[in-house]
Amino acid sequence: MSEELENIEKYLSGTLNEEERKAFESRLESDTDFAKSVEALRLAMEGIHNFGLRQELKEIGAEMNEELLSFKRKNPKRVWLFIGGVAATLTILIAVLHYLSQTSSTTQLFQSYFQPYPNLITTRSSDQSDIKEAFQNYSHQNFKEALKGFESAVLERNRNDTLLFYAGVSALADGTHEKAIDYLSALSEIKSEFNQQGNWYLALAYVLGDDIEEARQILNRIRPDEYEYRASRELLELLD
Amino acid sequence: MEKHFFLEDQRIIDAIQSGTGKDKSAALKELYRSYFPLIKNFILKNKGRIEDVEDIYQETLLVVYNQIKSGKFRGDSSLKTFIYVIARNIWFKELRKHSKQIREISEIEQEETIELPLADLEHQQNKIGLIEKLIELLSEDCKAILLDFYYNNLGMKDIMSKFNLGSEQAAKNKKYRCLQSLIKLVTQKGITLDYIH
């Protein structure tokens, strides 16, 4: 059987001599079963070829994606660089170089993904002045002061979800991840319009605290239609 | 990529038709990178999503590569045009499968410039696609050996040492057993039956 296969293979690759080829072809015409095995082998060989080719194409595609992704990773702040202009570019570059030379890899990761959540809360004149002040500090990026304000407000107002959220983000911006984890986990236990955002920042808090396992669990729970899904996938990959 | 592309085309064609394994891989990579943006834009402009792009493009290059290799691409057009036409055909076929907006598509279709024996090609592709699925059913060893022999063009000596087989004859036997089991699967599925005239 193996000999017959070998013979068919030689025929298909055109390496039979004239005499052998003629004998082969006359058998091909008279013997239907034989013709079927020839065709089966031809198809099998072509299938193997395509299988290999497809694998190679996939590898090239994956390689290109990898290059693209690493380009994005190196430039996570691209948009802001445009907005901020040349001065900001220089500042950030210097800051990044500074971080690269000083900080651990998880801190670097945190720095490339963390952006303080915008202040979306318009305070009314009827609001108490301590809250107003806290939000003002937050908008001016005085996160230490903002955190103090939100902390006392949280205690007074029985764990209001908005205050918990901004307290958590302020703590994170201030670099105190333990507090951020406290506030944001508390937020995750109550129903709030800030739940999705809260989870993203909670994951970042764990990244900053170097608790990769916990961070990964939270990131894994972020669904495609939720806040920062894309970034969460990227971050997950980087944490591996 | 701006260049004298018919000349460049010839270089790629030569590499695919008569180059070493390395040349072929390099040519494939060059093809892939050169025309990816073109096809990506085309698919995205024609109701495609970014997730569709890679699959369609890889399917396109599979056909293109085989057409070049077998000498069926005769250089009547540039490779760029050829790839574009194949990609359109594959993508519109895919769209037709999923979309009811056939009228709109056939409007786009009228721009078609090059005729290809696609019905025949498609038939072949489908059948070979089935065989590729059967290859997945083989043992990892068999898959690797068959690929090394028929795709990577390794000799029996290389296969013998790579897979720790005692002798060249043992490697040969192993390869034939693997091929046998694939052919058995192929005939079991009756894939060849409709092909014999």
Residues 98-127 of A with CB under 8 A from B: none
Question: Same domain for A27 and A96?
Answer: no
**A58/B contact by beta carbon, under 8 A:** yes
**Chain B residues lying within 8 Å of A69, measured CB to CB:** none
Q: Do B192 and A40 touch (CB under 8 A)?
A: yes
**Chain A residues lying within 8 Å of B36, measured CB to CB:** 64
Neighbour-count burial for B35-69, b at 16+ CB within 10 Å, e otherwise: bbeebbebbeeeebeeebbbebbbbbbbbbbbbbb
Q: Comparing A83-97, A156-170, A184-198, which segment has the lowest mean pLDDT?
A: A83-97
pLDDT recorded at residue A70:
75
Nearest residue of chain B to residue A41 (CA atoms) = B183
**A69/B contact by beta carbon, under 8 A:** no
Question: Same domain for A164 and A88?
Answer: no
Confidence grade of residue B110 (pLDDT, cut at 50, 70, 90) = very low
ipTM for this model: 0.82
Confidence grade of residue B196 (pLDDT, cut at 50, 70, 90) = very low
Residue A217 has pLDDT above 50, yes or no: yes
Nearest to A44 among B33, B62, B182 (CB): B182
Confidence grade of residue B4 (pLDDT, cut at 50, 70, 90) = very low
Residue A169 has pLDDT above 50, yes or no: yes
pLDDT recorded at residue A5:
83
**Chain A residues lying within 8 Å of B62, measured CB to CB:** 50, 53-54, 57
**A68/B contact by beta carbon, under 8 A:** no
C-alpha distances out from residue A30 to A12, A36, B135, Å: 18, 12, 30
Residue A134 has pLDDT above 50, yes or no: yes
Question: Same domain for A137 and A159?
Answer: yes
Nearest residue of chain A to residue B148 (CA atoms) = A52
**Chain B residues lying within 8 Å of A31, measured CB to CB:** none
Q: Do A32 and B182 touch (CB under 8 A)?
A: no
Q: Do B32 and A64 touch (CB under 8 A)?
A: yes
Q: Comparing A74-83, A99-108, A179-188, B79-88, which segment has the lowest mean pLDDT?
A: A74-83
Question: Same domain for A161 and A228?
Answer: yes
- Whether residue A196 is contained in a domain is answered as yes
Question: CA of B110, closest CA in chain A: separation in Å?
Answer: 30
pLDDT recorded at residue B197:
37
pLDDT recorded at residue A78:
61
**Chain B residues lying within 8 Å of A32, measured CB to CB:** 196
Question: CA of B18, closest CA in chain A: separation in Å?
Answer: 15
pLDDT recorded at residue A102:
57
Question: Same domain for A204 and A119?
Answer: yes
Residue with tokens 């078609």: B112
Residue A109 identity: L
Nearest to A44 among B54, B183, B193 (CB): B183
Nearest residue of chain A to residue B151 (CA atoms) = A49
pLDDT recorded at residue A131:
86
Question: Same domain for A94 and A133?
Answer: no
Question: Same domain for A147 and A216?
Answer: yes
Residue B107 has pLDDT above 80, yes or no: no
pLDDT recorded at residue B53:
94
Residue A207's CATH number:
1.25.40.10
Rounded CA-CA distance A232/B197 in Å is 57
Which of the two residues, A132 and B88, has the higher pLDDT score? B88
User: Contact B116/B89 with Cβ under 8 angstroms?
Assistant: yes
pLDDT recorded at residue A72:
67
Q: Do B54 and A35 touch (CB under 8 A)?
A: no
Question: CA of A14, closest CA in chain B: separation in Å?
Answer: 14
Instruction: Average the pLDDT over A194-198 and give the result.
Output: 92
Nearest residue of chain A to residue B181 (CA atoms) = A44
pLDDT recorded at residue B56:
95
Q: Do B193 and A36 touch (CB under 8 A)?
A: yes
Question: Same domain for A89 and A186?
Answer: no
Q: Which positions ≥6 away from A42 have C-beta within 8 Å?
A: A12
Query: Which backbone phi and psi does A191 adopt, to 5 degrees?
Result: -80, 130
Tens digits of per-residue pLDDT, A69-97? 777 666 666 655 566 677 777 777 787 77
Residue A124 has pLDDT above 80, yes or no: no
- List the one residue out of A194, A189, A237 whose CA is nearest residue A216: A237
Instruction: Average the pLDDT over A16-34 and give the result.
Output: 92
Nearest residue of chain A to residue B16 (CA atoms) = A53
**A155/B contact by beta carbon, under 8 A:** no
- Select from B39, B128, B156 the residue whose CB has the most chain A CBs within 10 Å, as the one to mutate to test that interface: B128
- Select from A38, A46, A57, A69 the residue whose CB has the most chain B CBs within 10 Å, as the one to mutate to test that interface: A57
Residue B193 has pLDDT above 50, yes or no: no
Tens digits of per-residue pLDDT, A34-63? 898 888 888 899 999 999 999 999 999 999
Instruction: Average the pLDDT over B45-57 and give the result.
Output: 91
Tens digits of per-residue pLDDT, B64-81? 999 999 888 888 888 999
Q: Comparing A216-225, B11-20, B106-115, B118-127, which segment has the lowest mean pLDDT?
A: B106-115
All domains of chain B, ordered by start, with CATH? 5-109 (1.10.1740.10), 118-195 (1.10.10)
Nearest to A57 among B61, B128, B146 (CB): B61
Tens digits of per-residue pLDDT, B22-42? 899 999 999 999 999 999 999
User: Contact A30/B181 with Cβ under 8 angstroms?
Assistant: no
Residue B144 has pLDDT above 70, yes or no: yes
Confidence grade of residue B3 (pLDDT, cut at 50, 70, 90) = very low
Average pLDDT of chain A, as a whole number: 85
Last residue of a domain, one of A67, A93, A124: A67
Question: Same domain for A54 and A125?
Answer: no
pLDDT recorded at residue B113:
46
pLDDT recorded at residue A30:
93
Q: Do B28 and A40 touch (CB under 8 A)?
A: no
Question: Same domain for A142 and A196?
Answer: yes
pLDDT recorded at residue A183:
92
Question: Same domain for A63 and A84?
Answer: no
Confidence grade of residue A104 (pLDDT, cut at 50, 70, 90) = low
User: Contact A186/A159 with Cβ under 8 angstroms?
Assistant: yes
**Domain limits at A44?**
2-67
Which of the two residues, B127 and B136, has the higher pLDDT score? B136
Rounded CA-CA distance B95/B101 in Å is 9
Rounded CA-CA distance A208/A173 in Å is 11
Residue B117 has pLDDT above 70, yes or no: no
Rounded CA-CA distance B114/A40 in Å is 32
- Whether residue A173 is contained in a domain is answered as yes
- List the one residue out of B119, B131, B121 whose CA is nearest residue B191: B131
- Whether residue A109 is contained in a domain is answered as no
C-alpha distances out from residue A38 to A78, A201, B59, B177, B178, Å: 59, 63, 27, 16, 16
Instruction: Domain count for chain A, please give it.
Output: 3
Question: CA of B145, closest CA in chain A: separation in Å?
Answer: 10
Q: How buried is residue B130: exposed, middle or buried, by Cβ count under 10 Å (0-12/13-18/19+)?
A: middle
Which of the two residues, B142 and B2, has the higher pLDDT score? B142
Q: Do B191 and A43 touch (CB under 8 A)?
A: yes
Average pLDDT of chain B, as a whole number: 82
SS percent in chain A: helix, strand, coil, step 5: 80, 0, 20
Three-state helix/strand/coil letters over A38-78: HHHHHHHHHHHHHHHHHHHHHHHHHHHHHHHHHHHHHCCCH
pLDDT recorded at residue B191:
62
